[in-house]
Amino acid sequence: MAEVAVLISLFAVGLKLGLPLSDKGWRLPARLAIVSMTMTVALITLIGTLSLGLSLGAAVLLGAIIAPTDPVLASDVQVLEADDRDRLRFSLTGEGGLNDGAAFPFVMLGLGLLGLHDLGSGGWRWLVVDVLWAISGGLLIGGVLGTLIGKLVVYLRSRHKESVGLDEFLALGLIALVFGLAVLSRSNGFLAVFAAGLALQRVKERPGNDVGSAARERGLQSKQAKEALATHSGYASAFMMQEVRGFNEQLERIAEVAIVLVVGGMLSYSYLPANAGWLILLLFLVIRPVSVWLGLLGAPVSSDQRLLISWFGIRGIGSIYYLMYAINHGLPRALAGEITALTLSVVAVSIVVHGISVTPLMNLYARRKARRHKR
């Protein structure tokens, strides 16, 4: 369940990020997903070994599980439109899309140090397969398939009036195809699905002036009008994206609600460790701000943007998935219970605290931004 929810969320995030890949705005989420997340894992590993009494492998695994952020649970921090260039929204949304996949090598490293995964002599297999190939292969597979399938559907619709409708299955089929090929090739399936969403979104073209006689005469809600837009040479790609994004956003919400309900149910079977309280405080008030400060050192962000990025390190379904992934790979029962309790505590507190604070803080940010523009 967690894996499906993560895949749907990553595809949805990819569909929302319309900034050109050559734009400098991508540097911020990339730095957050690589530098800041690596720092987060390192600091949690340090705390885990020195204060929690965990072995190095268990501490690395705990850091990898709770380091990824979730861009979906707090929808107010997401980009508003595909061309939204707000640095705060774009950075948080892009970070969530990238680091859910970028955390995978650290999870495998932790499992390897625990003897549950083959790292190779001197860690060569982990570096080559789990890091270099997994990341590059996942991005390549997702980008190529997302582009090819998007262009194929637009071509069939605009030239041959075929493959019209059922855009819901286009989204589900693309997610399944990309993820399946990535898993078969031992690359990162999460990054592949995220890249597929990015690539599909970029198939979109600017529509022409003529929208077809059916759309003008019958209105945009009729079946004939929708078919006319779906097969129009200027509107086919834009219509496809609108339908796919709308369906995927609804599916995303359903998956999120389902997982959050499951998390709530799991809390009654878990326990709150005595060290969970100060670990959560350190994670949200020290580790996240320090890692963001280091990751964005010298970046062109304002002080209020930096503060909000530091605060909204929202934990969610990515952490639940990696927790279950580790347990299913043979994590010892006692260690699994301890890491489960710590992870559920972090996720539950994040859902409540960040969920309550996101709306007023983002409203305040919007008002301050509007006042600056008036000056």
Q: Provide the CB-side half-sphere exposure for 71 (13 A, CA).
A: 32
pLDDT at 74: 62
pLDDT at 228: 59
126: its two tokens: 């982990």
CA distances from 222 to 6, 163, 297 (A): 34, 18, 52
pLDDT at 263: 87
Contact 375, 362 (CB under 8 A): no
Q: How many CB atoms lie within 10 A of CB 205?
A: 15
134-160 and 236-267 helices, crossing angle to 10°: 140
* pLDDT tens-digit profile, the chain (375 residues): 889 989 998 998 898 888 888 888 899 999 999 999 999 999 999 999 998 989 999 999 999 999 999 866 766 788 877 777 888 999 999 999 999 899 999 999 999 999 999 999 989 999 999 999 999 999 999 999 999 998 888 888 777 676 666 777 888 999 999 999 999 999 999 999 999 999 988 886 544 444 444 444 444 455 555 665 556 556 566 667 777 777 777 888 888 888 888 888 888 877 777 778 899 999 999 999 999 999 999 888 889 999 999 999 899 889 999 999 999 999 999 999 999 999 999 999 999 999 899 889 988 988 888 887 776
Distance CA 227, CA 233 (A): 12
Per the listing, tokens 């305040």 go with 364
Per the listing, tokens 């990238």 go with 98
pLDDT at 202: 84
Distance CA 14, CA 197 (A): 4
pTM metric for this prediction? 0.88
